[in-house]
Structure 1
Amino acid sequence: MLEALVHLPRPSLATTSAVLASLTIIYSVAWVVYTRFFHPLARYPGPFWASISRFWMVNQIRLAQSEKTQKALHDRLGPIVRIAPNEVAIADPDAIKTIYGINSGFTKTDFYTPWRPAWCKYPDAFTNLDEKQHASRRKITNNLYSMSSIARSEESIDLCTAVLLEQMTKYAQSGATLDMAAWAQMYAFDVVGQLFFSRMFGFLEAGHDHRGYIRSLDLLLPILCAASVMPTYLRTVFLMGGALIQPRVLKALTSLKDIDNAAEQCIVDRHAQLEAGQKDESEKDILASLFSVMREKGDKVDFGRTEVKVEVYVALFAGSDTTAAAVSSVLYHLMKTPAAYNRLTAEIDAADADGRLSTPYVKYKEASALPYLDACIKEGMRLHPSVGLTLPRHVPAGGCQISGAWFPGGTRVGVNAAVVHRDRSIFGADADVFNPDRWLGPNAANMDRYMFQFGGGSRTCIGKNISLCEMYKMIPALLRSFHLELVHPERTWTTHNYWFNKPSHVDTRVTARS
């Protein structure tokens, strides 16, 4: 019997290939049938390809217009739309509190892990999936990013504003046009440099991306974002295999190393300055404060040099694109809406004449007290939140009811700020229109509850106060000294949504005000 089995003919390569192909087809058909008819999310509408594969989401990242696609889907299909076999996007503003509220029980999905630096011992605040660990680690440095701490560093931001205004003066004198979105990012990058390291990187002075950080981020974001939405088991293949055959992927991974090296170099430079006595530790930029935390309680809370580097890395990675997008949105929509622009400049001029604004640089406390400026900044962030994708979370064990529907534990759910910020039931029938007046009415407090541009709950963006302080100081300083107008007011701006929803080509003409 054994001898007979040994002498059985071996299947040919063609036969083996045919069997494998048949099994693949059977599995694929079974998967489609399951996801379309038997999966717990089968009842929810959405694109066909989204219901059977996460590659629908990957393609949306490639197209860089996810927020527009999601908004159109919700308008057509309702508040719950299936965007992957195991994930739904929810456009109900009340879902924000349910999903992202403190102690909600919802946890971050593995969407966030590709953004995590591979060398860190503890995940940073953005990529940490463990809620308890996130809370304990964030407490270590949280006070460094409070508004009171940032406001004490206003003079650092003023130094950057001074260089920006000098450069705007040159443009006004020459009559040349500029891309306001690019200058907003260079400003935001230099503010990070000044706040963290007591020195600007030099973007504003050079007037271009002379260190290559912006180019690095622009290469990196699409690749990391695509990896984040694809199946986990394919990410390494995509990144490593892509690096071998796709120059764009290789450049992106090289850019990731550039940001890593920049973070390390900032720490090396500071350590060398301290060793040489060139830097007094009492000079409290954020890096000095991080070193103080490491020295005073590092052993107790396990916060060492690597943890300092993580904080610097995150600041370099996320500290410019988000703020620049917000500043660009406010200025762009003001230039597109002359009545609002003129009203804001009148408010700034009146406050200036009354001595309510400091000279030469506006203080945050003064700017935030201007009601129309406050309304314009909120409206700019409402119409164009800096992050344009859903913030995915796992439904807690036992399941949960969201927007009148029951979702089993483990289901991926998320809300997109770019969608809920245009909800007419909250923001009015003109929710698609730039109208700062909505923030001066009786519904302002209620609308504020649904603003989601910085995330929500315990996962609110740790750099929120840096961003707000920059915006409230820079915008009135700019508009007090210059008149801005779009070179092509009839055109709509260009945006690319790779998690950070980045505007570009906000071509602007600058004129000095008398």
Structure 2
Amino acid sequence: MTILTQILSTSELEFPPRLLHFTVALSSAYVVFWIFRAFYRLTFHPLASFPGPKFAGASFWWLYQNEKDGHLEENLKALHQKYDTHILRIGPNELHIDDASVYDEIYSQKYRFMKDPDFYASFNAPNTIFSEGMPDPHRELRKIISPFFSKQRIVAVEPTIYAKVNLMFNKIREFKDQGAIHMYNAIRCLTVDFISEYSFGQSFSLLEDAKDLEFHPGILFAFDMSTEVVTTFRYFPILRQFSNLMPLSLMAFLSQKITKVKELKMALADAMSSFDKARADGQKFEHLPLFDPLSHMSKEYIEAESIDIMVAGSDTTATSLGYLVNAVLRNPDILQKLRAELDAGLPDKDANWPLLELEKFEYLTACIKETLRCAMPVPGRLPRVVPMPQPGTPPFIVDGKVIPPGSTVGISAQSVHHSESIWGLDSQVFKPERWLGPDSKQLEKFLVTFGKGGRQCLGINLAYAELRIAAAKLFRCLDMSLDSSMTKKDLNQLDHFASAYEGTGVRVFIRGERP
């Protein structure tokens, strides 16, 4: 022990003075660099004159803190009002715009506002149809995938949609005496089961495996995390790289959220392997799986594209339908009108009504459009980079200010959908009647739930089909009432790129079946 004490007390084990000096100097240099960079950003940067919080202009940390809590758009709306401006500086090189009149200019292919590479890299899914920033590769991918989401194709797979909706309906019947049905989760199981079968030729069978009224298989948590970790990856890209390299066992020790995302990737890889084997064995599929024409692509691409399609094709629609159920049941007049239309047009409640017939139901369609306006699946901004103006064309101007080329800009669906100048003073109110008036066609161009132009979400026809069929089935066949024990937190929607409920989402009691 005496020898050990002598060894530990020797000067060789003391912190070397040169290393200490170097560490202090390096730390001081970084602090000085950070101060001078912040000073430049606030004083000489091309966006220095634009209004907004000083901390936002000096550092990305302000944006990260506001994004991670899921309430960024609400905070930005308050800041637009505080600074009395349509254009707000929210990052060192980023502006947030709430002027719907320039939406088409930013998001139209015509004007070549390219996707912000840093934002889309955070999804850890390079070169997918969602994240691909270059027009030509994106166009080629769209040619391959878009036929699977055409109106004609969706009508062709209508029986598969009904099979999943009817399975959900039967499960709700099975569990209805247990208490309040977790309707949001039930709908999520429905949409995951459909998009998995549509993509890989086999369903994840979440509805079949549901054991109780909560409808909560563990994989749904992985879907939640796949969008929630995006914010962390965006502002700490080194974590994104580590997550790709680390084994699952080590990642499980460091981050449960990222671990769940990796587990989801593994589940999708297994689904693709099963599809490849089934195809090699000559198995016949009810319809051509979406990933069949993509099977020649790299393993990395398939993995990335499968996550994009699974999340975009499931949780987004589920969030909307969950909102619709809650909104209609909270408004007796709306519920009565919807039931009256469905009862008159669908006398046989046990039939699988043709989708083309459901499209003719004006009030059902109005409820769906109003849902998509109020409960955007992707409520936040989709950043674009301002291009250099072409010869003979004016610069990009908002609020009388020229936006410097190279700046990142974005308009959120939430800003457009809640603009009082477009929708009136009741823009926050769920009001299907606004889609039945003489101005309804004019309002269509301001419904940007799925984006616009060449970058519009491919799943628009599928989303409308699922919403029409599921909503018609639920409100025509079931007598539902809201669970009065739901809290504000249960129904509070968070923006983690895709909308998610802070709590359980809508819960309903099934009082019986309607005649």
**Residues 157 and 227 of structure 1: is their aligned pair in 2 closer, same or farther, counting only changes over 3 Å?**
same
8 Å contact from structure 1 (residues 87, 413) kept in 2: yes
Deviations 1:352-393 (A, max 9, x none): 24x7xx852233212221111111111111111011221000
Instruction: Provide the rounded CA distance (Å) in 1 between the counterparts of 2:275 and 2:249.
Output: 36
Deviations 1:72-117 (A, max 9, x none): 2223332111111110111111121010012221011121113243
Cα deviation for residue 11 of structure 1 reads 7.9
**Aligned residue number for residue 370 of structure 1:** 361
**Residues 311 and 466 of structure 1: is their aligned pair in 2 closer, same or farther, counting only changes over 3 Å?**
farther
- Where do 1:245-324 residues align within 5 Å? 250-277=255-282, 279-280=283-284, 283-287=286-290, 290-291=291-292, 293=293, 303=297, 311-324=305-318
**Residues 397 and 362 of structure 1: is their aligned pair in 2 closer, same or farther, counting only changes over 3 Å?**
same
Deviations 1:428-477 (A, max 9, x none): 11001111111111221222101111122211112222211100111011
Q: 2:197 aligns with which of 176, 194, 197?
A: 194
Cα deviation for residue 327 of structure 1 reads 0.8
Q: CA RMSD in A?
A: 2.9
Cα deviation for residue 274 of structure 1 reads 3.0
Cα deviation for residue 417 of structure 1 reads 0.7
**Aligned residue number for residue 509 of structure 1:** 509
Q: 2:125 aligns with which of 109, 117, 121?
A: 117
Gaps of 5+ in 1: 1-9
8 Å contact from structure 2 (residues 493, 499) kept in 1: yes
Cα deviation for residue 204 of structure 1 reads 1.4
Deviations 1:136-183 (A, max 9, x none): 2211221121121111100000100111111222344x1610222111
8 Å contact from structure 1 (residues 219, 251) kept in 2: no
Instruction: Provide the rounded CA distance (Å) in 2 between the counterparts of 1:205 and 1:488.
Output: 28
Cα deviation for residue 258 of structure 1 reads 2.2
Instruction: Provide the rounded CA distance (Å) in 1 between the counterparts of 2:74 and 2:492.
Output: 13
| Letter matched to residue 383 of structure 1 | C
**Residues 150 and 18 of structure 1: is their aligned pair in 2 closer, same or farther, counting only changes over 3 Å?**
same
Instruction: Provide the rounded CA distance (Å) in 2 between the counterparts of 1:34 and 1:294.
Output: 47
8 Å contact from structure 2 (residues 486, 507) kept in 1: no
**Residues 489 and 82 of structure 1: is their aligned pair in 2 closer, same or farther, counting only changes over 3 Å?**
farther
**Aligned residue number for residue 13 of structure 2:** none
Q: 1:103 aligns with which of 98, 110, 128?
A: 110
- Where do 1:200-239 residues align within 5 Å? 200-207=203-210, 212-228=218-234, 230=235, 236=241
Cα deviation for residue 294 of structure 1 reads 5.8
**Residues 348 and 76 of structure 1: is their aligned pair in 2 closer, same or farther, counting only changes over 3 Å?**
farther
Tell me if 1:384 matches 2:375: yes
8 Å contact from structure 2 (residues 323, 371) kept in 1: yes
**Aligned residue number for residue 87 of structure 1:** 94
Instruction: Provide the rounded CA distance (Å) in 2 between the counterparts of 1:238 and 1:25.
Output: 29
Instruction: Provide the rounded CA distance (Å) in 2 between the counterparts of 1:415 and 1:219.
Output: 25
Q: Secondary structure at the match of 1:103?
A: helix
Q: 2:387 aligns with which of 393, 396, 416?
A: 396
| Letter matched to residue 477 of structure 2 | S
Gaps of 5+ in 2: 1-15, 390-394
**Residues 75 and 217 of structure 1: is their aligned pair in 2 closer, same or farther, counting only changes over 3 Å?**
same
| Letter matched to residue 30 of structure 1 | F
**Aligned residue number for residue 183 of structure 1:** 186
Q: 2:163 aligns with which of 153, 159, 163?
A: 159
**Residues 18 and 103 of structure 1: is their aligned pair in 2 closer, same or farther, counting only changes over 3 Å?**
same
**Aligned residue number for residue 6 of structure 1:** none
**Aligned residue number for residue 417 of structure 1:** 413
Give TM-score scaled by structure 1 length. Answer: 0.86
**Aligned residue number for residue 5 of structure 1:** none
Deviations 1:170-217 (A, max 9, x none): 344x16102221112111111113323444322112226676321212
Instruction: Provide the rounded CA distance (Å) in 2 between the counterparts of 1:234 and 1:203.
Output: 31
Instruction: Provide the rounded CA distance (Å) in 2 between the counterparts of 1:244 and 1:409.
Output: 45
Q: Secondary structure at the match of 2:194?
A: helix
**Aligned residue number for residue 493 of structure 2:** 495
**Aligned residue number for residue 7 of structure 1:** none
8 Å contact from structure 2 (residues 370, 430) kept in 1: yes
Tell me if 1:55 matches 2:51: no
**Aligned residue number for residue 331 of structure 1:** 325
Q: Secondary structure at the match of 1:286?
A: coil
| Letter matched to residue 43 of structure 2 | F
Tell me if 1:443 matches 2:443: no
8 Å contact from structure 1 (residues 108, 129) kept in 2: yes
8 Å contact from structure 1 (residues 395, 409) kept in 2: yes
Instruction: Provide the rounded CA distance (Å) in 2 between the counterparts of 1:83 and 1:248.
Output: 34
Cα deviation for residue 56 of structure 1 reads 1.5
8 Å contact from structure 1 (residues 326, 380) kept in 2: yes
**Residues 498 and 148 of structure 1: is their aligned pair in 2 closer, same or farther, counting only changes over 3 Å?**
same
Instruction: Provide the rounded CA distance (Å) in 2 between the counterparts of 1:397 and 1:421.
Output: 29
Give TM-score scaled by structure 2 length. Answer: 0.86
**Aligned residue number for residue 130 of structure 2:** 126
Deviations 1:269-317 (A, max 9, x none): 223223333x226x42334xx43x369xx6xxxx577766554343223
